[in-house]
Amino acid sequence: MIMNKKLTLDDRTIQDCRNFASSVADEILSLIDGHTTVTVERTIARFLDIDGVNSQGVPLPNVITDQLVSAGKLPDGAYYRLGCIAAATGKTPREIAYDLGQGNYLLDDFPDRPAQEVNAVMAAYVNQGISRIDLARESRANLKQQYTP
């Protein structure tokens, strides 16, 4: 079966589809708001390439989630709080995590920012995380192919 990889859709149809997808995503986000866990937020920190430990040997994703819990900000999520700091400082999530681990500041030391601004600042880090997952998936598939009889 030959598949055409490009759809010929007019700009209005494309925009309508994007608007619909955005509304679905907004509904899902509003549903999950306030329903996160420490485990989920640690995973998000790792997805944002936060790794390593502080001087006491505490993993940096744990430093972040501990601060979220202590500040009562777990529902905000690591992504949002790190995005607020990134918007204010211009630092990467990894740099922010090291600063947090050294006690240079706390996650809630920075004011809230509009979600649109946070998303704009964090987009590159999210794309990098997706790329790392894609590379790992490809590597795993290659290994399976190489070692499958």
By mean pLDDT, which of 26-35, 48-57, 90-99, 105-114 is the weakest? 26-35
Number of domains making up the chain: 1
**Average pLDDT of every residue of the chain:** 89
53: which strand partners?
59
**Banded model confidence at residue 33, pLDDT cuts 50, 70, 90:** low
Please give the average per-residue pLDDT across 60-75, as a whole number: 95
Determine, yes or no, domain membership for 13. no
Determine, yes or no, domain membership for 83. yes
CB–CB of 97/60 below 8 Å?
Answer: yes
In the predicted structure, residue 5 carries a pLDDT above the cut 80: no
Angle between helices 60-70 and 38-47 (to 10 degrees): 130
Structure tokens at 54: 């502080």
Determine, yes or no, domain membership for 28. no
Structure tokens at 30: 């509003």
Residue with tokens 């949002």: 80
Q: Which domain holds residue 104?
A: 36-147
Q: Report the C-alpha gap between 83 and 120 in whole angstroms.
A: 9
**Banded model confidence at residue 34, pLDDT cuts 50, 70, 90:** low
Please give the average per-residue pLDDT across 98-127, as a whole number: 95
In the predicted structure, residue 28 carries a pLDDT above the cut 80: no
Determine, yes or no, domain membership for 52. yes
**Neighbouring C-beta atoms of residue 95, cutoff 10 Å:** 14
pTM, rounded to two decimals: 0.74
Q: Report the C-alpha gap between 70 and 12 in whole angstroms.
A: 47
Determine, yes or no, domain membership for 90. yes
Listed in sequence order, the residues at least 6 apart from 52 whose beta carbon sits closer than 8 Å to its beta carbon are: 59, 60, 97, 98, 101
How high is the pLDDT of residue 1?
47
Q: Report the C-alpha gap between 83 and 78 in whole angstroms.
A: 8
**Banded model confidence at residue 26, pLDDT cuts 50, 70, 90:** confident
How high is the pLDDT of residue 46?
96
Q: Report the C-alpha gap between 115 and 75 in whole angstroms.
A: 14
